[in-house]
Amino acid sequence: MHMNIALLRGDGIGPEIVDSAVEVLKKVGEQYGHTFTFTPYLAGGCAIDETGVPLPEETVAGCKASDSVLLGAVGGPKWDTLPGHLRPERALLGMRSALGLYTNLRPAKLYPALKEACPLRAETVEKGFDLVMIRELTGGIYFGERGRRQGENGEEAFDTECYSEMEIERIARVGFETAMKRGKKLISIDKANVLESSRLWREVVHRVAAEYPEVTLSDMLVDNAAMQLVRDPAQFDVVVTSNMFGDILSDESSQITGSIGMLPSASLGSS
């Protein structure tokens, strides 16, 4: 098998991580008879320095023409004072939207070699945990209407959380299909006691659940989920949640394994 892989080396530690991943892929190719063509493109702070924008059109076109994209971290203090539309992180949002990458998968498993690095209590560590966090990646507050305006107390800033039935349904199906391949247990995380977007989220997830009678579905509020991840992570198998909640909880779930840098993460579309 031959694959064309776009390399977005990013900023800071990003190039070091991507270069190491390339060496691993080369070894995989040698072992299993695969070959790879690696093509670098600019994204993030390095793209701003060279082209003036965080995500050049050339990068988008190159990624669309590739079989896969290997992405490093973007951003850093150097670019923190730039306006929002020129921040390095806009490259991530733009790439997810351009490639239709609406699913983020982040497994979090406590490996024996990292047990000593786990920050949780010893009795919790001994139980171990193995979960998959599924985050909706192209909707919600990160992609909603945003801006600034004058209010009665001066300047205001706003970011809008908005989800359609279609967006919720397709990520819910990813959650249920993943659960079917594992322990047939799915926890949907929302804030339905406060947010209207979460109430629609819960309605749609429960509607999709009727198509997966073998999967046990339960709901959990996001604040409780944050606590439960450090109290008893072994209770989780597959988790599905929105963009912002998933951003926070997936980092928490990976950190309790002992190192956020040791875990894989994949952003996927429908093809």
Catalytic residues, by residue number, are: 142, 191, 223, 247, 251
Question: Distance (Å, rounded) from C-alpha 253 to C-alpha 241?
Answer: 13
For residue 260, give both structure tokens: 């956020």
List Cα–Cα distances, 127 to 81, 124, 187, 257, in angstroms. Answer: 44, 5, 19, 12
Nearest to 242 by CA among 179, 187, 186, 189: 189
Cα 109 to its chain centre, rounded Å, is 16
Q: What are residue 71's DSSP bridge partners?
A: 8
Give me 29's structure tokens.
């190719």
Instruction: Judge contact between 233 and 124, C-beta under 8 A.
Output: yes
* Assigned token pair, 85: 């539309």
Q: Tokens 């079989």 map to which residue?
A: 67
Residues composing the chain: 271
C-alpha closest to that of 162 among 141, 146, 147, 148 = 141
Burial of residue 37 (CB within 10 Å: 0-12, 13-18, 19+) is exposed
| The two three-digit tokens of residue 28, written as one number | 């995989």
